[in-house]
Structure 1
Amino acid sequence: MTKRIRRLTAALLAAALLAGCGGSDSGSNTASYDAVAEESLALASGGTESALLPDTATGESAQKIIYRADLYMESTDFDAAQDTLLDAVDAAGAWLEYSYQSGSAKEQDRRVEYTVRVPVENYSAFLEQAGQAGSVLNLSENAEDVTSEYIDVDARITSLEAQRDRLNELAAQAETTADLLEIENQLSNVQYQLESYTQQMRALEGKITYSTVDISLEEVAVLTPTGVTFGARLADAFGGGWRMFVDFVQGLVLTLVYLWPLLVIAAVVVGVVLVQRRKHPRPPKPPKPGKKAPAPPAQYGLPDAPAANAPPQSGKPDAPKNPDAPQDAPAAPAETPEPPKPKY
């Protein structure tokens, strides 16, 4: 009995490992996985337990498609357009997953963004009714086929559930503590994988059952004409840039208002530092070695220093001259020699 339990546990472990490899294979990969799992169980139990895993052949199955749309509109009557959108949500049995509104009625620049989850059977009707709320500028739709992924995840869940049930039966038949611990270990591993695939299946079913529609509604003074020209696009871009600039300036002013206590403290600190520097100026730096110090500037009102080659002067001042004393006669001019007389 113990050997049989161990063989079955090993086979279930091999099947669990195969179930955990990959999450997006489908078709032949799923069939191959089931065949390997059944073969492992058959070898372990001598062919008597081959019916543990159900047949998960893909066969014929309805397509599983995830629908998603992006709708961008504008309106001159923002309140009425918003009411129309909300009425469309209620009529389709949908619900708002996300909502955001900005702007003001005074500036006529309001904007609202919705993420709506719509039942797939009302998807087309909702888009048609929501498009009547304003002037549609852009509508894009996307359909993603996830049939293969859905079938693969469903097959793995079915296989893991069968392994879990069989392990519970083996745990009830265990005769020794070692066998029971081994079975519980494998059961914990299978349960972990089963919960992971179950969450993945719930996410897929939610996206398949409820389509996602992102809506943007903008308030404008004049509707954008169909077939927008380059000039209109340029004017719209200029207006959008100006609004962004105004928003930036307003945000900057608000930031300064929030930070005014810190700015006052910083101004006081800077003022104290400047006053201290004026009271205690830094001493001049000493001249670098090898360079002569610059000569001191000349001082006004003092006599110039004597030249280097001038004779030394006595310390006594010159005697003043007497105006009554006879003056020295001027020197006589030098006599010019007479030319020699000719001889006859």
Structure 2
Amino acid sequence: MKRWLRRSVGYTSSVLLAMVLFIGLTACSPVPSDGKRTSNGSDENSGQTTSKTADSAAATSGKASLASQAKEDVSRKIIYKADLEMPVKEYNTAQSKLRELVAASGGYILDFNESTSNSQISGTFTIKIAAGEFSSLLDQLETISPSMQRSVKGQDVSEEYVDLTARLKAKQTVEARLLSFMEKATKSDELLAYSTELGKVQEEIERIKGRKNFLDQNVAYSTIQLRMYQNNNPAPVNPNKDTFGNEIANAFTSSIKGVLTFLKGLVVVLTSILPAIVLIAIIVIPCWIWIRKINKRKRLEMDLRYQNMKDNAADVIQSQEGEEASDNQTDDQGSSTQDMESDKDKMDGRHKGDASKDN
């Protein structure tokens, strides 16, 4: 024990002695002739060092401000979108360079449409690029076409994002409460009510999460709508092209083309409906033949009936005419007898008259 105390005391004394020597050497160090001690014990050299540090800090102040602005943009949830119009001289070369720049920047082409006409060839690109590479890619695209026109817009969705976050937390709290209520519920109607309400809350939670994911993706990846086009040289105009003869020839050619187009269309239509026509013919023709036979049979029966009726009518008429002829003969005989009696009476009258005259 005594040895341990002695050793500890020796170590402590040696440490104290070393501290005293260091303080003494620092106090006795020489001061430069052109140095002036300040009120707080610091010399002019330390002031110069501080000024140099301030200069270097001032040189990097711009970068620090840009970095702070970038951090602020990330925290503020801003969606960037750019619309670019890029006229080029060589469309294919410019398109290849565009694809290389997009791939090198870590972006990708979401949509692409190309159109070609006699006067112009153009392509429309929808590019998705990380928000940190957005400005850099715009500057690189300008190297393809210095006359490129750009329009950059930013949409701040921070307020909506904060609102969605708050709503999500509130809905998740309600979900937890409903789950706890369901664990404690003992009646089936209570369980049904809690489960129905829980389904509605969970549906709202999924909708909010989907909207937040959409905003996160659009904030993380900016959108560039780019239209690249190359104007072609128009064909030379021939002054002798639009003569009267050429107009007649063009009109005749156009009419022939129209007729041929109509005939081609007619053939195509007939070819397309030919299977249907064959099917209809297979069904309709036998039905038509059967109906025609039935109608022919009915017509023959009607003709026979009509002929029979006509013959019967002729017989009746002949019989009636015979009866009328016999009646007429009887009447004629009676009338002739009456006429003879009347003539006889007249003759008798005349004879009597003549006798009276003679007397």
**Structure possessing the higher radius of gyration over alpha carbons:** 2
TM-score bracket, normalised by the shorter chain, equals: 0.3 to 0.5
TM-score, reference length from structure 1:
0.46
TM-score (norm 2): 0.44
Q: Which has the higher helix share?
A: 2
